[in-house]
Amino acid sequence: MAEATLPHDMPAAYEPSLFGTYSKKIGMWLFLLSDSLTFGALLYSYSYGRISTPNWPTPFHSESIVNATVMTAFLLTSSLTMVMAVRAAVHGNAKAQRLWLLATMACGMAFVILHGREWSKLIAEGLTLPVFPKLPGHEAVGEFANVAQTVPQFPATFFGLTAMHMLHVTLGVIYLGVVALRRNFIPILLVFWLAAWLGTPSYSPFHYGAHVLLVAAIVCSIILWLKPKVYDSSDVEVAGLYWHFVDLVWMFIFPLVYLMSARIL
């Protein structure tokens, strides 16, 4: 009990912190615990399908494995840059903090772009979902054209799980952008939205998915307008918890989804 009680030099009017840390951090941990249920359920559904379906497809060739390994390296490196940002924040070095946060965002964006490339490649090979726009001229010729009909669990669980993770990484990049650049990040986010929307063909799911950025820009504008503040080291640390969680989840998705469904010839 003694280790949890605070300080002794604190005013007696306050109740000591039960968990020895500030409320924001405990709140983020509670959110992460609840979020782990979401990912747990998605991982379970993928694993269950993998075990119970005899003709489970193995669409990941050597090229996909290399791509996913590079994505993993980017995510692990982003975690390193994130702890460096927290370290800079607690030392009061605002410039280094901002630079490390921008480096983390760059790694996160590289991850999303590589993941998008992987998705596009699989969709071009015929692996798709009914909700995705039809790809002109590729329906019948792709390597996995029949998979969506014969094993619909695979595209459903694969796209569901990886889309949820990609959404988390995207929101993480936006979160870090707001912490690092505050209001200055909103126009940048709008430029990203326009680039993603106009830069992707209309038959790509990312053409519509890009609107997440627009919604995020509106929400961030409202938050920053209602509660403008300078983010301190505790905010950076809490943002870091979220970012590391996204990294942590990928440590299970990468082996379960990619390595266990690899086709190495």
Contact string 58-97 vs another protein (x = CB under 8 A): -------x---x--xx--xx-xx-xxx-xx-xxx------
Tokens read off for 9: 């030099």
Which is closer to another protein, CB of 192 or CB of 245?
245
Length of the chain measured in residues: 265
Under rule CB under 8 A, residue 255 binds another protein: yes
Q: Does 27 bind another protein (CB under 8 A)?
A: no
Query: What is the nearest approach in angstroms of another protein to the Cβ of residue 7?
Result: 7
d(CA 180, CA 116): 25
Site residues (CB under 8 A) for another protein, limited to 176-235? 232-234
Q: Which stretch binds another protein (CB under 8 A): 18-26, 120-128, 132-140, 146-154?
A: 18-26
Quote the least distance from Cβ 27 to another protein, whole Å.
Answer: 11
* Of positions 18, 94, 194, 215, contacts another protein by CB under 8 A: 18
Alpha-carbon distances of 125 from 120, 137, 207, rounded to whole Å: 9, 11, 19
- Binding to another protein by residue 262, rule CB under 8 A? yes
- Least separation in angstroms between residue 159's CB and another protein is 19
Give 248: exposed, middle or buried? Use CB within 10 Å, 0-12, 13-18, 19+: middle
φ/ψ of residue 131, rounded to 5: -80, -15
With contacts defined by CB under 8 A, how many residues of the chain interact with another protein?
A: 66
Interface pick for another protein out of 21, 64, 120, 200 (rule CB under 8 A): 21
Residue 23 engages another protein in binding (rule: CB under 8 A): yes
Residues forming contacts to another protein in the complex (CB under 8 A) are: 3-4, 6-7, 10-11, 14-15, 17-26, 29, 33, 36-37, 40-41, 43-44, 47-48, 50-52, 65, 69, 72-73, 76-77, 79-80, 82-84, 86-87, 89-91, 232-234, 237, 240-241, 244-245, 247-248, 251-252, 254-256, 259-260, 262, 264
